[in-house]
Structure 1
Amino acid sequence: MSSRPGLSTRGPSGLSQSTDANVSPPSTDRGDLKRNFLKSMRPLPTQHYWNVWFDRPDKDQKSAADGNYHSKLEQLGSTIESVQDFWRYNNNMPIDNIKMRESIYLFKAGFKPIWEDRRNILGGSWTFRVPKANGADFWTRVQLLAIGEELQDALEEGDQLCGVGLSVRFNSHLISIWHRDASKQKSVDAILELVLTKAIPDDFPQLKPDSYFYKKHSDHAGFNPSPEMQAVLDSQKAREQQAAAAAAKAQAEAAAQQGSQSQPEPPQIVEVPPSGER
């Protein structure tokens, strides 16, 4: 009688039947397999490439003109191209290690966190002052809104998200969201609505209206563009003034037309013939 063929196994099953005391238990081996499987998975690409920037004040080169500190801006690590890249960076960048007045930014490739940069010159940003106890959670949520394209999708057509940033202050974190065109009011309103509805967890203390504000980059005291960029800014301001004047004129004409239509007609005069006439 022929013998039954042997059952050949691979992986945890074969190892679990071994009597060698040096062999790892099945649970440990399954864990290794899971880790190897996750490593072999294809990365989930982000729609845009992102760079991490670090900014610290340079106290040795204080500006005599405006009293502000110059900054030392440097790019950290390699470009973020996938969801895995983002979590690798985020998990290894605890904001508790960032010192007073230092900043970190997550910006789309091609953008720099500089007000006077050619891609930022016409833009602005929302800034949220968040208690340090809640800063890390809020910062992670805002970053996810950025790389997940939710912030971009909320913007008005023709506008573009530049990036997000975190700056450390004495008892709070300043978390900012930059976009490219400050003249698009729908974008300004949409960013605020999205953050207040999606970046704040249920157990988060309610943000008071005076804890967040919007500001054009050109309205900052330290804003100092090159002559070329100043010309771009002046041209944009001229277009905005022309558009505002045209809108005011159209509104005045509409009001005048509506007023003329609502005026009552003058009473008709009826002549009464003298008595005796027929």
Structure 2
Amino acid sequence: MSQNPPRPGLGLFTRNLPSSSLSQSTTDPNSPSVTTPAEQRDDAKRNFLKAMRPLPTQHYWNVWFDRPSQQTSANPEEYHSNLEQLGSTIESVQDFWRYANNTPVDQIRMKESLYLFKVGFKPIWEDRRNVLGGSWTFRVPKQNGPDVWTRVQLLAIGEKLQSVLEEGDQICGVGLSVRFNSHLISIWHRDSSKKTSIDNILACVLEELPRELAPKPDNYFYKKHSDHAGFKAPPELQAVIDSQKARERAAEEKAGQRVEAVAGEAPEIREVPPSS
């Protein structure tokens, strides 16, 4: 009886494979060494994510941490010394989530603050890029704070906040400060004379936050940095601040004059008695 010819190509399945692979088909299917289809899919997904190119953010961002001073001094230099830059610069969406997923907001202590600011900006009122700016501050219950904070940061790095500003204005960064029973979440922009920017930042936040997270009207406010009691402008920038205030006063006076002129042009209305 003739023998069956050897099956060509059989060696392709066993060549250069470790001996454990040859016996895997005979092992217990419940053994941890057996790869299931679900595990294979998970491995493929992980390998795919590793191979993906990072999705860059339009701007680079730095994370800052502020520990409160034990002294009551409002010296800007002392505040500056309490600031600490954390980690490396955020340059992509992946970088952001790596930072966000490893930063336990609920463990930040009373009066400590965390900031996400564009590279080149520091969370200091007197910083040369901030002196003419201001910020919206939202008081959020602590149980909602981490969620609102994440959403506001995404509005910043995703350029949604920047897109609603007037031309010539710029988002500087966002911050979170811990208080007794709430989180103060702030949004800083560069030019407090831009009224449309101020209104649009608020409208954007209220529109983008889910209804259950949106702050109540009495829990948010806007303030210029220069209006804070502790603000101390550097001498070399005081003239710039004074010039902005002079322009704002002139604009207010001009607006008031227009209102008076319109009121003066209103026709006099006389009551005509009914005819008998």
Instruction: State if a TM-score over 0.5 links the two structures.
Output: yes
* Aligned residue runs from structure 1 range 146-225, under 5 A: 146-199=156-209, 201-204=210-213, 207-225=215-233
Q: d(CA) in 2 for partners of 1:70 and 1:149?
A: 28
1:159-186 Cα offsets, whole Å, 9 max, x none, are: 1001100000011000000111111111
* Distance across 1 between alignment mates of 2:185 and 2:25: 58
Residues 16 and 117 of structure 1, relative CA distance in 2, 3 Å threshold: farther
In 1: Cα distance, 2:23 partner to 2:95 partner: 39
- Residue 31 (1) aligns with residue 72 (2): no
3-state SS of the aligned residue for 2:67? strand
- Structure 2: distance between partners of 1:123 and 1:39: 41
Q: Normalized against structure 2, the TM-score is what?
A: 0.82
Alignment partner, residue 121 of structure 1: 131
d(CA) in 1 for partners of 2:250 and 2:141?
42
Instruction: State the shift of 1:39 in Å.
Output: 1.1
Deviates more, 1:180-189 or 1:246-255: 246-255
Match of 1:51 in 2: 62
Question: Would you say 1:19 and 2:25 are equivalent positions?
Answer: yes
Aligned to 2:246: 238
Q: Is the 8 A contact 2:131 2:226 kept in 1?
A: yes
Letter of the structure 2 residue corresponding to residue 45 of structure 1: P
Query: For the residues of structure 1 that align with 2:124 and 2:95, how far apart are their CA atoms?
Result: 24
What is the distance in 2 between the residues matched to 1:16 and 1:202? 59
Q: Secondary structure at the match of 2:68?
A: strand
Report deviation, 1:62: 3.1
Write out per-residue CA displacement over residues 124-161 of structure 1, whole angstroms, 9 at most, x where no aligned residue: 11111101011111111111111111000011111100
The corresponding residue for 2:236 is 228
1:32 is displaced (CA, Å) by 2.4
The equivalent of 1:272 in structure 2 is none
Cα deviation code 1:91-120 (max 9, x no counterpart): 000111111000000011111000011111
Which of residues 92, 111, 115 in structure 2 aligns to 1:101? 111
Residue 52 of structure 1 aligns to a residue whose secondary structure is strand
The CA distance in 2 between the partners of 1:226 and 1:203, in whole Å, is 42
Residues 62 and 70 of structure 1 are in contact (CA less than 8 Å); yes or no, is this contact kept in structure 2?
Answer: no
Residues 237 and 37 (structure 1), Cα distance of their counterparts in 2 relative to 1, 3 Å cut: same
- The structural deviation recorded for 1:238 is 1.3
Deviates further, 188-197 or 69-78 = 69-78
Report the Cα distance in structure 2 between the residues aligned to 1:191 and 1:175, rounded to whole angstroms: 13
Counterparts of 2:42 and 2:148 in 1: how far apart (Å)? 32
Q: Distance in 2 between matches of 1:228 and 1:70?
A: 19
CA distance in 1 between counterparts of 2:116 and 2:103 reads 12
CA distance in 2, matches of 1:25, 1:35: 15
The one-letter code sitting in structure 2 at the alignment partner of 1:52 is V
Aligned residue identity for 2:159: E
Matches of 1:240 and 1:203 in 2, distance apart? 37
Q: Give the partner amino acid of 1:208.
A: K
Partners in 2 of 1:110 and 1:7 — Cα distance? Answer: 62
Cα 1:242–1:171 change in 2 (3 A) is same
1:16·1:25 contact (CA, 8 Å) conserved in 2?
Answer: no
Structure 1 CA distance for aligned equivalents of residues 198 and 22 of structure 2: 60
Q: Per the alignment, do residues 37 and 220 of structure 1 end up closer, same or farther by CA in structure 2, a change over 3 Å counting? A: same
**Partner secondary structure for residue 144 of structure 2:** helix
RMSD: 2.6
Task: Name the structure 2 match of 1:145.
Answer: 155
Quote the Cα distance in structure 1 between the aligned partners of 2:34 and 2:194.
Answer: 61
Which whole-Å CA distance do the structure 2 matches of 1:30 and 1:169 have between them? Answer: 45
Q: Give aligned-pair identity as a percent.
A: 64
Distance 1:33 1:212, change over 3 A: same
> TM-score if structure 1 supplies the norm length?
0.81
